[in-house]
Amino acid sequence: MNALPYTHIHEKFRHIAMLPDAERLAFIDTPRWIGYSQANEVLDILQGLMNKVKQHRMPNLLLVGDSNNGKTTIIKQFVKKFGESYVDDDIDLVLPVRSIQAPPSANEKDLYISLIDSFGLPYRSSESVGKLRLQVIHAFRETRVKILIIDEAHSMLTGTARQQRLIMNSIKFLCNELEIPIVLSGTKDSVRILHTDPQHASRFDIAELPIWENNKEFRRLVGSFERILPLRNPSNLTQQENLNLIHSISDGCIGNVKRLLNECAIDAIKTGEEQITTKIIESKSWIRPTRGVRKIIG
């Protein structure tokens, strides 16, 4: 054995490789942040928006990308990094970031209820839209929220054209009234909701998370994933043959890459292989969606 075992694993996680199989398997399934250039760039943009000086027309952002390509993970990392609540010198509670999932349809009342619920405040669903709106504004001002993030924005496309205009007008109103930036995140279809009114399109910049190409950045990404997998032997996933196979099965989608490598690592531990081989990667080809559906068997 080498004097320094498991040097193929990041030093922070090398001790995990020495744990029993059950604990290593649990570690693999635990959500973990992997930083990469596109994600860090989006985090910087969000932080910049959050620190903007209050003004009547605050800049807003629409973050778009294919499903399972890292949008929600980036948002959760931003909330974790910058959204922690604290008590200021006046013993007032400060909640710098509010993040919610968009209501399942373009319903103004459901939007306000989701926002109130994010504060853990009581409400009456029978209240009028106007009263719920006032409660939202009061909660935001009392806790000095600096940025609002609404994930799964494409859900708001399920309403009628009139409902879509109403909910986008509500978002514009909150932005103006509270003088805070608002970030929407969703699939590429989400762009359509900005075109319900020319004013909305002019208020939102668009940042896109593209599908990964099989290039140096993808090599770094795969290498980063390999460095946190608690396998006792190196897998050499950044060799071109393995990279080509991983990219082909994942379709260049980061969520699929993570799922693929996790499933391979689980197999490698259960079979005693202790490394991800080409054969194991090929056995997980079911992770590639066929007509949008994954078929595990059959």
Task: For residue 186, report the phi and psi dihedrals to the nearest 5 degrees.
Answer: -175, -175
- Assess whether pLDDT exceeds 80 at residue 289: no
Each residue of 229-277: pLDDT tens digit?
999 999 999 999 999 999 999 999 999 999 999 999 999 999 999 999 9
pLDDT confidence of residue 297: 43
pLDDT confidence of residue 1: 44
Indicate the pTM of the whole model: 0.90
- Determine whether 123 is exposed, middle or buried from the number of CB atoms within 10 Å of its CB (0-12, 13-18, 19+): middle
Which of the four pLDDT bands, split at 50, 70 and 90, describes residue 291?
very low
Instruction: Report yes or no: 152 and 185 within 8 Å, Cβ to Cβ.
Output: yes
Each residue of 156-213: pLDDT tens digit?
999 888 999 999 999 999 999 999 999 999 999 999 999 888 888 889 999 999 999 9
Instruction: Report yes or no: 107 and 170 within 8 Å, Cβ to Cβ.
Output: no
pLDDT confidence of residue 298: 43
The full DSSP string for 26-85 is HHHHS------HHHHHHHHHHHHHHTPPP-SS--EEEEEE-TTSSHHHHHHHHHHHH---
At the topology level, CATH places domain 37-209 in: Rossmann fold (3.40.50)
Find the angle CA(201)-CA(185)-CA(84) to the nearest 5 degrees.
120
CA atoms in the 13 A half-sphere facing the CB of 192 = 13
- Assess whether pLDDT exceeds 90 at residue 278: yes
pLDDT confidence of residue 84: 94
pLDDT confidence of residue 196: 85
Nearest to 147 by CA among 185, 92, 189: 185
Please report, for the chain, the start and end positions of each structural domain, with discontinuous segments joined by +: 11-30+212-287, 37-209
- Assess whether pLDDT exceeds 50 at residue 112: yes
Nearest to 59 by CA among 208, 206, 203: 203
Task: For residue 61, report the phi and psi dihedrals to the nearest 5 degrees.
Answer: -140, 140
Mean pLDDT across the chain: 93
Each residue of 24-63: pLDDT tens digit?
999 999 999 999 999 999 999 999 999 999 998 899 999 9
Q: What is the mean pLDDT of residues 278-282?
A: 96
